[in-house]
A and B are shown apart, each in its own frame.
Chain A
Amino acid sequence: MEFGSLLLKGFSVALTPVNLAWLLGGSILGTLFGMIPGFGPSTGIALLLPLCLGLRPETALIAMAAIYYGAMFGGSRSSILMNVPGDSAAVASCFDGYPMARNGQAEAALAVSAVASLMGGLFASVAFTLLALPAARIALRFGPPETFCLMVFSLAATAAVSRENLLKGLISLVLGLMISTVGLDSPSGVSRFTFGLEQLQTGFSFVVVILGIYGFSEVLINLETLALETARPLQLEFRWIRISMAHWRRSIGPILRQSPVGFLIGILPGAGAGIAALRAYRNEKKRSPHPEEFGKGAVEGLAAPEAANNACSIGAMLPMMTLGVPGSGTAAVMLGGLLLCGLQPGPLLFEPQPGIGWAVIASLFLGNFACAVINLPLAGFLVRILSIPPKAFYPFVVAVSFLGLYTVNFSVTDLYLLVGIGICGYLMKKFRIPTGPLVLASVVGSSVESSFRQSLELSGGSPSIFFRSSISSGLLIAAALALAWPIVAGWWSRWKVSKPAERPGE
């Protein structure tokens, strides 16, 4: 069977000592970044990004993926022990994880969350394995118009799910695309928006944007809470962290039901692990015969979001790796890492030379087991990091951002730009403008423009080319629906709230 031989080949690459070492290192780093409130997988991968230059592409991608799902495992540690989510994906884990810990079941909560994450991750890895090749083969048929429309759909969907305001999401998106237009336009040789500065001829490296938003501005935002007393973990000494048969019986149903939900939400552009975890929590609460137990330490309320958020993180990698279109800010950072390694993300990672794509898939299986080991027997040791206030890490995050960025182009100009983007990101966060669309757009911006221009060249300048094939038309319709959805949903919810008395029979 084709899958079997390709997967075996992937395992042979993933099991090399170097790849295994980076897989373990990435899993530990991801767990730690997920655990520390204020940081998350995006910051972890962003800081690793410059090091990608020194690694083989498959090694870099294996390490970045390990940080991503490692953070999903780690994020729940601080939710359970401190009632402070490590990142947005772990918010739902606070609802029942923390009450369990307060009820003297911290070990059980840590075990349930790790096992649920493992099961969710394994389900998603199997689904990824089955879908990768068909998706890559479909993508191989894409020409420039289809590629452009796919990116428009992905960007539109990402902006549309911005929690604050659709218009602000779109403004962030267009700003990211604007940033990508700075520098020498290589097809025409025209310098754009460089204001005569030679240093800007090469444009804004997307690494500057990624590190500015996920590294520097994240620290600036966190500096505001410096004077506040930080939460402390409920306990740091643990008995045996293991899942009992009673907890297993209560967890397995939610895990099996919500892992597919998390995976599907992950594939959708824009919807992140936080949304997947909350959706899974609501689903389980709705179908539970004892919804009143939710929020008071229900095992189901912890297992469901944990399985969903890990499945989601793996699902989010599928469009990035097979179609070359990232569906989230974190996936955009990973895509940036691939571009830095000189690879073109998309179907070519799977065909005709399948080594890299399948090595990453194989690493998903290995990495999820590695994360389970890190988060079960070693959890008692790792969670000691929670006793260190997060502010202690800020200087090092800033310094690593600067040093890492310098090694990409060996240019001091990039360091000044990093500060500028960091301040911009800080203001965006203060004014509640989503930063994910900006990062996404700055990474794929040049591809969007080149596919747009190639399409117009093919059609002699006529935009009708974007409506000629059913794929591109369908994607444009999907983009329009994605943008219309928040407006329609807003009307619908307002109508439901304000009109019940006017509806017949009510």
Chain B
Amino acid sequence: MRPNALVGFAAAILGGLYTIQVLRLPKAIAGDASSPVSFPLGLGLLMTVLGILLVLQEARRGLTNLEGVKRPAFTAPSLRTIFKAVAASLLYAFLFERLGFFVSTLGFLGTLLYLINGRRAWKLNAALALGFTLGAWALFVQLFELPLP
């Protein structure tokens, strides 16, 4: 399918789901009852219409006609790297307050540097991770007096 048609379908579905959620919102008790609803309702309907228009625009050229269309490329190695980076980020978010800033940041940076530089540069990775963690601590906690866990 043409990539823009996929975007159109996604937008129409998102707009539809959003509109349903808007209609389920409670009315305001004070003032104009519909005031918290009217603006989001317009957005939901507009998103649905825009999605449908995009699908129709692509349908005129043939939904499955991919001639001359630049499709988004997803290769297995790059997806693997991105998946690992996202997983490391989610784990970092999970452990940040549990393990504290120092241990979690050191581990997180070590993981990302390993993903990029590989295992052979482990000394450089360790030095960079440690240097950055100490530098960030000095900047946030010492200079800007922002508390970190």
Contact = CB atoms under 8 A, between A and B. Distances in A.
B21 A193 contact: yes
Given A165-B4, A168-B7, A190-B26, A399 B47 contact: no
A53 B143 CA distance: 13
A178 B14 CA distance: 10
A35 B62 CA distance: 42
B35 A453 contact: yes
Given A416-B93, A431-B72, A181 B40 contact: yes
Interface residues of B, number: 67
A395 B113 contact: yes
Contact of A187 (B31, B46, B77, B86): B31
Interface in A388-446: 391-392, 394-396, 398-400, 402-403, 406-407, 410, 412, 415-416, 418-419, 422-423, 426, 430-433
A188 B7 contact: no
A188 B108 contact: no
A398 B81 contact: no
A220 B15 CA distance: 26
Q: Is chain B's binding surface mostly helix, strand, loop or mixed?
A: helix
B25 A407 contact: no
A342 interface: no
Interface in B1-59: 3-4, 6-8, 11, 14-15, 18, 21, 25-32, 35-36, 38-40, 43-44, 46-47, 50-51, 53-54, 57
A399 B53 contact: no
A138 interface: no
Contacts of A403: 101, 105, 136, 140, 148
B47 A178 contact: yes
A457 interface: yes
A171 interface: yes
Contacts of A396: 109, 132
A236 interface: no
A163 interface: no
B67 interface: no
Contacts of A398: 85, 89, 112
A452 interface: yes
A406 B148 contact: yes
A309 to B, nearest CB: 27
A51 B3 CA distance: 39
A174 B43 contact: yes
Contacts of B136: 399-400, 403
B132 to A, nearest CB: 6
A433 B140 contact: no
B96 A178 contact: no
B123 to A, nearest CB: 15
Contacts of A431: 3-4, 6-7, 72
B82 interface: yes
A167 B54 contact: yes
Interface residues of A, number: 58
A155 B93 CA distance: 33
A422 B93 CA distance: 14
A134 interface: no
A426 B82 contact: yes
A227 to B, nearest CB: 7
A53 B140 CA distance: 11
A491 B44 CA distance: 30
Given A174-B50, A430-B74, A453 B148 contact: no
Contact of B96 (A226, A392, A415): A415
Interface string A124-168: 000000000000000000000000000000000000000001011
Contact of B116 (A391, A416, A453, A457): A391
A175 interface: yes
A193 to B, nearest CB: 6
Given A178-B40, A190-B28, A192-B25, A412 B93 contact: yes
B96 A461 contact: no
Interface in A196-221: 216, 219-220
Interface string A168-179: 101100110110
A368 to B, nearest CB: 27
B31 A167 contact: no
Contacts of A216: 89
B103 to A, nearest CB: 14
B127 interface: no
Given A165-B4, A187-B31, A457-B32, A181 B39 contact: yes
- A-B pairs, top 9 by smallest CB distance, nearest first, are A188-B28, A395-B112, A415-B93, A430-B72, A224-B78, A54-B144, A190-B36, A185-B36, A188-B36
Given A399-B132, A426-B82, 20 more contacts: A170-B50, A171-B11, A174-B15, A174-B43, A174-B47, A178-B18, A192-B40, A220-B86, A224-B78, A224-B82, A396-B109, A399-B109, A402-B93, A403-B101, A406-B96, A407-B140, A418-B89, A431-B6, A433-B7, A449-B39
Interface of B: 3-4, 6-8, 11, 14-15, 18, 21, 25-32, 35-36, 38-40, 43-44, 46-47, 50-51, 53-54, 57, 70, 72, 74-75, 77-78, 81-82, 85-86, 89-90, 92-94, 96-97, 101, 105, 108-109, 112-113, 115-117, 128, 132, 136, 140, 144-148
23 contacts: A53-B146, A167-B54, A170-B46, A171-B51, A174-B50, A177-B43, A178-B43, A178-B44, A185-B36, A188-B30, A190-B25, A190-B28, A192-B40, A220-B82, A223-B115, A399-B105, A399-B132, A402-B92, A407-B148, A415-B89, A416-B90, A432-B70, A452-B39
Interface of A: 51, 53-54, 165, 167-168, 170-171, 174-175, 177-178, 181, 185, 187-190, 192-193, 216, 219-220, 223-224, 226-227, 391-392, 394-396, 398-400, 402-403, 406-407, 410, 412, 415-416, 418-419, 422-423, 426, 430-433, 449, 452-453, 456-457, 461
